[in-house]
Amino acid sequence: MKMNDTLRGALILGAVVLALVIGGFAIADNGWQKVTCIGRAIASGVAFTNIHSVCGL
């Protein structure tokens, strides 16, 4: 039971951090283009360490 609560908390925290990061990109210059570029890069299997160079962040 305790492990389930820990996992749930980690998932909630991860979702909040992800929402803040996406929101930060969205309000920046060309933010939606960057968000969609990141989404396409992840969907096509680009490594997280290479997303910066692929999307020009």
State the pLDDT at residue 1: 52
> Residue 12 pLDDT more than 80?
yes
State the pLDDT at residue 49: 82
Q: Which domain holds residue 49?
A: 2-55
Q: How many separate domains does the chain show? A: 1
Question: Residues 22, 16: contact at Cβ < 8 Å?
Answer: no
Q: Tens digit of pLDDT for each residue in 24-41?
A: 777 777 777 887 888 888
The answer to whether the predicted template modeling score (pTM) of the entire model surpasses 0.75 is no
Average pLDDT value for residue range 10-33 = 79
State the pLDDT at residue 21: 77
State the pLDDT at residue 37: 85
User: Each residue of 8-25: b (16+ CB within 10 Å) or e?
Assistant: eeeeeeeeeeeeeeeeeb
